[in-house]
Amino acid sequence: MRRRLFGSVRARATVAATLVVAVALVAAGTAVVLSLRFSLIGQATTRAEAEARTVAAKLAEGVAYADLDLDDGEDSPVQVLDQRGKVVAAGEDVEAMSVTADSRTGRGGTPVGVQDDADDEDADDKDDAEADAEADADADDTLAAGEVAEDATISQGTATIDGDTEDYRFAALGLTTPHDVTLTVYAGGPLSVEQDAVRTALTTMLVGFPLLLLTVGGATYVVTGRALRPVEGIRSEMAAITASEDLSRRVPQPDTHDEVARLARTTNETLAALETSVERQRAFVADASHELRSPIASLRTQLEVGAAHPELLDLDGAVEDTVRLQSLAADLLLLARLDAGERPPPDAYFDLAKLVRQETTGRDGMTVESVDSMEVRGSRGQIARVLANLLDNAQRHARDRVAVSLRTDGDWTVLQVADDGSGVPEPDRARIFERFVRLDESRARDEGGAGLGLAIARDIAIRHGGTLTVTDAPSGGALFELRLPQKS
């Protein structure tokens, strides 16, 4: 069942899209939560440092402890400590403060100060201030009287206010009073806003993400199903074509311009090419059977007559029919090899000029205009077959003369064979290269011809990366032009 499920493109696309969106949502959600948390912690830190500086500035100006406004409650708890860690001033509701993660020292769980009954005495008593100054006289202070430290120490901890303990971001700022008393102001910025915001964001994500993933998965499943519906139509039609072996049928082509439409169009083109190929093969088999029937029947008749009446045996005719049958079989075998995709060896080269001279030697009424040497890549035997077919065809239809020329044209080697016969009508110039095609009386085949010579010549030219065409010759006959790539 699992294999069937994930064997579907639709299911795999849905799972892949859902996973991608899930990863993206988790990454985006993590980034949002972290950004929100850092932003709110930064705001709490800024608030704590601002409150600490406000209180420190007042103390540095000589404001008495009792005159300090430290009653912001849980929004910004404040404690003022002397050099011995004794709380000398604090918010009214602040019961305790403890640093749990000092960003500079790394210490945690350390109480900020100890509050006792001395905090209830008159904080404006100058004698107490002077006594504190004398107690701290041996301390290694670097701040001048009435000066506030430039940098605050940022830490995180808890504060207990009215019995409730909450997390805070603390700023500790050192200062000296005008009486040269060293103090430290601890002010806190609440982290409850940050915690509530992060908690709300996480709750929203935990609820919203599954719903969003379900929506994405469902939408992907539906959209993918609609997109693949034409593909299923193509598949079912191809299955029907395979079962019926009817290559005239075509797959449905959607009215779109996407990949599926291009697939359907290409499939139909392939079916059309396959249908043409099958029809051509059937016609080839039928024509070959017809061409083979005549020499075989003639040869059989002569042999039967010879068996019954030896004195009547036409030995020359039997040999002629046998040669014709052998030539036809060789042509059919060569065409079969060419249809199978046989190509010349890539590293085979030969001298085409030398081949032209050899093939034209001994032929009557033939003039040759050629270069001394011209190497081309390909099968010497197959190109010799092309040249022989062209020369035989020209001699059959020429009145007096056949002209052969060899030259170069850019990256091509050009071989031309022209006769002074009646030429080939323009509507028939494509047909003469088809198999078993013969034109009218002006180009009727001679004895033994089967209409395969020019078809073989053209197929060989194509397999060599060249072309074979026919036009009008200057003398009025037919001009066959063979183009082959030059040796690279």
**Start-to-end CA span in the chain (Å):** 58
Nearest 10 degrees: CA dihedral of 5, 6, 8, 13? 120
Q: How far apart are CA 196 and CA 53, in angstroms?
A: 27
Question: Which residues make Cβ contacts (< 8 Å) with residue 192, sequence separation at least 6?
Answer: 166, 167
Please return the burial class of 23, using the count of CB atoms within 10 Å of its CB with bins 0-12, 13-18 and 19+: exposed
Nearest 10 degrees: CA dihedral of 43, 44, 45, 50? 90
Give the strands of the sheet with 467-472, arranged side by side.
Answer: 366-369, 402-409, 412-419, 478-485, 467-472
Phi, psi for residue 168 in degrees, rounded to 5: -140, 160
Judged by DSSP in three states, 421 sits in coil
Judged by DSSP in three states, 385 sits in helix
DSSP class of residue 487 equals P
Tokens of 444: 């009727």
* Helix or strand (DSSP H, E) at 484: strand 478-485
Helices first, then strands: H and E counts in the chain: 9, 14
Assess contact for 20 and 148: CB atoms under 8 A. no
Looking at residue 112, what is its pLDDT? 63
The CATH number of domain 349-485 is 3.30.565.10? yes
Residue 146 zone, left/alpha/beta (φ > 0; ψ -120 to 50; rest): left
Domain ranges of the chain: 63-193, 269-339, 349-485
What residue has token string 């912001």?
Answer: 72
Strands of 255-380, DSSP E: 349-351, 366-369, 375-377
What residue has token string 């929203």?
Answer: 204
Q: CATH topology for 63-193?
A: Beta-Lactamase (3.30.450)
DSSP class of residue 433 equals G
Looking at residue 176, what is its pLDDT? 93
Looking at residue 117, what is its pLDDT? 42
Q: How far apart are CA 315 and CA 313, in angstroms?
A: 6
Pick the CATH number of 269-339 from 3.10.180.10, 1.10.287.130, 3.55.10.10, 1.10.10.10: 1.10.287.130
Other beta carbons within 10 Å of 38: 11
Other beta carbons within 10 Å of 12: 13
- Crossing angle of helices 380-397 and 352-360, rounded to 10°: 40
Other beta carbons within 10 Å of 380: 16
Q: How far apart are CA 112 and CA 98, in angstroms?
A: 5
DSSP class of residue 185 equals E
Task: Spell out the per-residue pLDDT of the chain, length 488, in tens.
Answer: 455 555 678 888 889 999 999 999 999 999 999 999 899 999 999 999 999 999 999 999 998 888 888 876 557 899 999 988 899 998 888 888 888 754 433 334 456 664 444 344 443 443 443 444 444 434 344 788 889 999 999 998 998 888 888 999 999 999 999 988 999 999 999 998 888 999 999 999 999 999 999 999 999 989 888 888 888 888 898 999 889 888 889 999 888 888 888 999 999 999 998 888 888 777 777 777 777 777 788 778 878 877 887 777 777 777 877 877 887 788 888 877 887 777 787 778 899 999 999 999 888 888 888 778 888 888 899 999 999 999 998 998 888 899 999 998 888 999 999 998 888 888 888 888 887 777 654 444 444 456 788 888 999 999 999 999 999 998 888 999 999 988 76
pTM above 0.75, yes or no: no
Please return the burial class of 54, using the count of CB atoms within 10 Å of its CB with bins 0-12, 13-18 and 19+: middle
Tokens of 407: 């030259």
